[in-house]
Amino acid sequence: MTTTTNAPAGTATPVLGAGVTRVDGPLKVTGAVPYADDLAPRDALVGVLVGSTIAAGQISLVDASDALAAPGVVAVISHHDAPSVVRPNEASADERAPRPPFQDATVRFHGDHVAMVVAQTREEAVHAATLLHVSYDVSEPVVDLNDPRATREDDDPAGADSTRGDLERGLAEADVVVAADYVTGDNTNNPIGLFAACAEWDGESLHMWATTQWPSNTADCLAEAWGVPREDVRVECPYLGGGFGSGLRPWPYIHAAAIAAKVVGRPVRVVLSRPQMFTDVGHRPETVQHVRLGARRDGTLTAVEHTATIPVAVDDDNPENVVSGTRQGYAVEHLRADVDQVRLHISPPGSMRAPGEAQGNFALETALDELAVELDIDPVRLRLHNDATTNPDQDDLPWSSKALDQCLRRGAELIGWDDRDPAPRSMRDGDQLIGYGVAAVSFFYFQQPCTVRVVVRRDGTAAVHCAAMDIGTGTYTVVTQVAAERLGLGLGDVEVVLGDSSLPPSPPAGGSGLATAISNAVALAVTAVLDDLDLSGAPGRDALSRAVGARDEVAAEATAEPPDPAEMGMSPSGAFGAKFARVRVDADLGLVRVERLVSVIDCGQVLNERTARSQVIGGAVGGIGHALLEHTVTDLHAGPQTGRITNAHMADYLIAVNADVPDLEVEFVGGPDRLNPVGVKGVGEVGLCGVAAAIGNAVFHATGRRVRRLPITPDLLL
């Protein structure tokens, strides 16, 4: 086994950029793709989770007598009788994993797990769940971010807070200061695939098929929870029906399946309902942010202050860095960034598609637009003028790659930026006001260790094994490409096996970090196996077969570790991007429709032009929803039901539909990143970021109305 950090750049392989079709595509278009629940043993019992009807208090009694008497019911499990399991830590050790369910009588949010009904069929379990009688000692919940009773945490778990220079001095040096508050609503990930878990025990060994973006960590947490050896826990999830961050944590429903299977001594399947998808697998927390910018008349930023308040669940950890983009986005000497968390009786927030960054970017990039108006400077020029050519957040080290200036210039060209009339409310077509907006994105760099095993078989074909998940972004395909490229094989000669915790450990499919980690691990493991075979270059199938000789196969593992920036003498770059929107706003009705959306992205080496483009397109669609539609609404007033989500239904929680989305223009600029041999930077989340601000800025240009709140709905524009 080889462990090494990434080698310096220079060995990137541009042919990888070719857009081959997805290797798993035929499975998906024919419906043959096995998601977690499809792999569950067919004789498994069905478990249905029952949520609390209050947001805070104690369960005094779960009376299961009627439910147990209902047809098909096998068991009802609650804190009265559930086996004890330990609350594990996430792999990032200072963060507690979500609490396993049924461990105490405390209710911490509306929908918190009170019990599970296990029955022969889903129909029976769902009905029996309505026959449970749960009594509570109700406490007054705190569910409003502005509630003065809420506990405010300022211990900075995300490492978000930062001070550079002297903010007051920077403000004093400014000719113009703009300051405003920005609010972003709570969003719910809502992947189309309902999350599912099935557990089967064999003595003390646990086998689970569960929706997750991180099989390694899920298995680690289950082993810790049950106090069993890690090798006795296996979590399989070869595919999932979307995650967008909601599959990153080992959520209670996974534990619930394991607990239930333990109790009844048979496999138990749990499939969350759509309403449960709003409370059981995380959500993007709302934010209240304040941004203050100081600048000289020529547009030079002298001071940036960005503070944010976001909620976190009681008794949970979910660090969310709302200000990361602000800290590294622009060259400014004086900066203060600060994120405070407020504890609320809400379901635990988690990551959702560019967590923190999506909300923070909206505030910063809207504020920059306001500054541009105040200074009467072109918003694109303002951003170019303050482009940080070194990382101001990391000792001014040079970036490992950065082409934000190209993103902005090319995007402006594509959308016809200079052809617009820059005056607000100056462009009109009948009832429709037309506006253009821009936003820039400096996404953070994230890489964690990843181990891959490459196996070369006697016939010269190869297999790549890794616990990592393909969440639909194309991991199967790009891993196939990287391995095939470096082994000199055709794509059809490489089998990629992912999504199984019994394979070499991987980081999460999240943080835009997997492609970098796994592609470099594959490159290293290929090098290792070729070393073992006394081969070099990309030898091809015949040479591989000859080298393996009479053996069945030859395998090697390698781990790609994140490099040390100081040692490298450069600051690792995440992706950069520029977003340009052209919107139409009905002058009377306030309806905003996106007419054009241009994304120009610097994500280093593009591993697969086709799937990378799809990721950016998909992010842009998510961004349209973030900007105009999505809002998870929690009831703040309605008596005993306070704290309840009022739109936990796919007809009421609005995500963009096909008709909301124009043709989306995507271009990639820049070149291979210098930090790693493959030259790749993650492209998973840069696609969504900046879209909301670009649309909001376009709405301002169209209407002259500045909306500092997401989503931007018609009622805000009347």
Partner 1 sequence: MSRHSLHVTVNGEAHAVEVDTRRSLLDLLREDLALTGTQKGCDQGACGACTVHVDGRRVLSCLTLAAQAEGREVTTVEGIGTADELHPVQQAFLDCDAFQCGACTAGQVMSAVALLEEDDWSTRDDVRELMSGNLCRCGAYPRIVDAVLSVRATQEA
Partner 2 sequence: MHPFTYTRVDDVEAASAAVTTDAVSRAVQGPDDTVFIAGGTTQLDLMRDGVWSPGTLVDVSRLPLADVELDEDTLVVGAAVTMADLARHEAVADLDVLRDSLLLAASPQLRSMATVGGNVLQRTRCRYFRDPEVTQCNKRRPGSGCAAIEGTARTHAVLGVDAGCIAVHASDLAVALVTLDARVRLHGPDGGRTIPVADLHVRADVDPARDNVLAAGELVTHLEIPVPDARTGYLKVRDRASYEFALTSAAVVARVEDGILAHVAVGLGGVGSVPWRATRAEEVLRGQRASLALFEQAAAAELADAFTVPGTDFKPELARRTLVRQLRDVTEVTA
Binding site for partner 1 (CB under 8 A): 19, 21-22, 24-35, 37-38, 42, 121-124, 127, 190-194, 239-244, 271, 273-274, 471-474, 610-611, 613-615, 617-622, 649-651, 655-659, 661-664
Nearer of residues 562 and 696 to partner 2, judged by Cβ: 696
Residue among 251, 243, 205 at smallest CA distance from 226: 205
Confirm or reject binding of residue 637 to partner 2 (CB under 8 A).
Answer: yes
Nearer of residues 172 and 192 to partner 1, judged by Cβ: 192
Token duo for residue 248: 């990153």
Confirm or reject binding of residue 331 to partner 2 (CB under 8 A).
Answer: no
Confirm or reject binding of residue 422 to partner 2 (CB under 8 A).
Answer: no
**Interaction pattern, residues 575-604, with partner 2; x per rule: CB under 8 A:** -------------xxxx-x-----------
Helices (H), 331-474: 357-375, 379-385, 404-415
For partner 2, the binding residue among 660, 667, 671, 709 (CB under 8 A) is: 660
For partner 2, the binding residue among 3, 130, 135, 205 (CB under 8 A) is: 130
Token duo for residue 694: 């670009």
Q: How far apart are CA 56 and CA 564, in angstroms?
A: 45
In angstroms, what is the minimal distance from the CB of 641 to partner 1? 20
Q: Which of 124, 200, 630, 685 is catalytic?
A: 685
Token duo for residue 676: 């790693």
Peptide bond into 711 cis (omega under 30): yes
Q: How far apart are CA 650 and CA 233, in angstroms?
A: 35
Q: How far apart are CA 593 and CA 602, in angstroms?
A: 27
For partner 2, the binding residue among 24, 53, 278, 439 (CB under 8 A) is: 53
Confirm or reject binding of residue 651 to partner 2 (CB under 8 A).
Answer: yes
Confirm or reject binding of residue 389 to partner 2 (CB under 8 A).
Answer: no
Q: How far apart are CA 532 and CA 535, in angstroms?
A: 8
Q: Which of residues 684-713 bind partner 2 (CB under 8 A)?
A: 711, 713
Can you tell me whether residue 493 is helix, strand or coil?
A: helix
Q: How far apart are CA 712 and CA 592, in angstroms?
A: 8
Burial class (CB in 10 A: 0-12, 13-18, 19+), 605: buried
Confirm or reject binding of residue 718 to partner 2 (CB under 8 A).
Answer: yes
Under rule CB under 8 A, how many of the chain's residues touch partner 2? 39
Which of partner 1, partner 2, none does residue 617 bind to, with CB < 5 to 8 Å depending on kind?
Answer: partner 1
In angstroms, what is the minimal distance from the CB of 188 to partner 1? 11
In angstroms, what is the minimal distance from the CB of 142 to partner 1? 30
Angle between helices 691-703 and 357-375 (to 10 degrees): 30
For partner 2, the binding residue among 93, 423, 550, 659 (CB under 8 A) is: 659
Confirm or reject binding of residue 300 to partner 2 (CB under 8 A).
Answer: no
Burial class (CB in 10 A: 0-12, 13-18, 19+), 685: buried
Nearer of residues 242 and 540 to partner 1, judged by Cβ: 242
Q: How far apart are CA 165 and CA 603, in angstroms?
A: 30
Confirm or reject binding of residue 68 to partner 2 (CB under 8 A).
Answer: no
For partner 2, the binding residue among 22, 108, 113, 127 (CB under 8 A) is: 127
Which of partner 2, partner 1, none does residue 553 bind to, with CB < 5 to 8 Å depending on kind?
Answer: none
Q: How far apart are CA 703 and CA 53, in angstroms?
A: 43
Residue 273 β-bridge partners: none
Asked if 374 is an active-site residue, the reply is no
Nearer of residues 338 and 685 to partner 1, judged by Cβ: 685
Confirm or reject binding of residue 646 to partner 2 (CB under 8 A).
Answer: yes
Rounded (5°) CA angle 76-79-83 = 85
For partner 2, the binding residue among 647, 677, 685, 703 (CB under 8 A) is: 647
Residue pair 325/576 in contact (Cβ under 8 Å)? The answer is: no
Burial class (CB in 10 A: 0-12, 13-18, 19+), 520: buried
For partner 2, the binding residue among 81, 204, 421, 652 (CB under 8 A) is: 652
Q: Which of residues 522-581 bind partner 2 (CB under 8 A)?
A: none
Residue pair 432/584 in contact (Cβ under 8 Å)? The answer is: yes
Q: How far apart are CA 589 and CA 23, in angstroms?
A: 46
Which of partner 1, partner 2, none does residue 32 bind to, with CB < 5 to 8 Å depending on kind?
Answer: partner 1
Rounded (5°) CA angle 710-576-381 = 80
Can you tell me whether residue 485 is helix, strand or coil?
A: helix
Which of partner 1, partner 2, none does residue 536 bind to, with CB < 5 to 8 Å depending on kind?
Answer: none
Which of partner 2, partner 1, none does residue 593 bind to, with CB < 5 to 8 Å depending on kind?
Answer: partner 2
Question: What is each CA distance from 695 to 181, 238, 366, 546, 599, in whole angstroms?
Answer: 18, 36, 10, 58, 12
Confirm or reject binding of residue 639 to partner 2 (CB under 8 A).
Answer: yes
Q: How far apart are CA 309 and CA 324, in angstroms?
A: 14
Can you tell me whether residue 481 is helix, strand or coil?
A: helix
Q: How far apart are CA 217 and CA 362, in angstroms?
A: 31
The residue range among 119-127, 260-268, 396-404, 439-447 that interacts with partner 2, by the rule CB under 8 A, is: 119-127
Nearer of residues 7 and 661 to partner 1, judged by Cβ: 661
Q: Which residues bind partner 2 (CB under 8 A)?
A: 53, 71, 123, 126-127, 130, 431, 588-591, 593, 628-629, 633, 635-641, 644, 646-647, 649, 651-652, 654, 656-660, 711, 713-715, 718
Catalytic residue list: 685
